[in-house]
């Protein structure tokens, strides 16, 4: 049986979102919409969809561990571990 908690206000701009459970693991996301000090960012998928990022080899020979990523947006680019980078001679998986 799934039970969800109603979203509750934590403060002026924060909420506890609905409980999500998968295979015995429960997660209650806490969201703050105006957290100070967090610079604006764009995810890799969003930037690619908008044409704001160019991914290419650093040189003609290419290198397995090297790619050039040009961020043309005015936001910081967020690239998460495990994302696939496509744009060089072969796709690469980000591994920090």
**What tens digit of pLDDT does each residue of 21-59 get?**
888 888 877 776 666 677 778 889 999 999 999 988 887
Task: Give the residue extent of every domain in the chain.
Answer: 1-34, 41-93
**Res 39: pLDDT:** 74
**Res 56: pLDDT:** 86
57 contacts 89 by C-beta, under 8 angstroms: yes
More confident residue, 13 or 90: 90
pTM listed for this prediction: 0.58
pLDDT in tens, 80-92: 888 888 877 778 8
**Res 11: pLDDT:** 61
Q: What residues does 69 pair with on adjacent strands?
A: 55
13 contacts 34 by C-beta, under 8 angstroms: yes
**Res 92: pLDDT:** 82
**Res 72: pLDDT:** 95
Q: Cα–Cα distance between 55 and 47 in angstroms, integer? A: 11
Place 9 in a pLDDT band, splitting at 50, 70 and 90: very low
């Amino acid at each position: 049986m799934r039970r969800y908690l109603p979203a509750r206000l934590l403060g002026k701009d924060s909420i506890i979102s609905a409980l999500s459970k998968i295979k015995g693991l429960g997660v209650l996301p806490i969201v703050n919409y105006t957290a100070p000090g967090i610079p604006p960012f764009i995810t890799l998928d969003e930037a690619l969809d908008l044409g704001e990022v160019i991914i290419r080899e650093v040189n003609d020979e290419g290198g397995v561990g090297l790619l050039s990523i040009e961020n043309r947006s005015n936001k910081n680019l967020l690239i998460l571990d495990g994302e696939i980078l496509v744009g060089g001679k072969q796709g690469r998986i980000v591994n920090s």
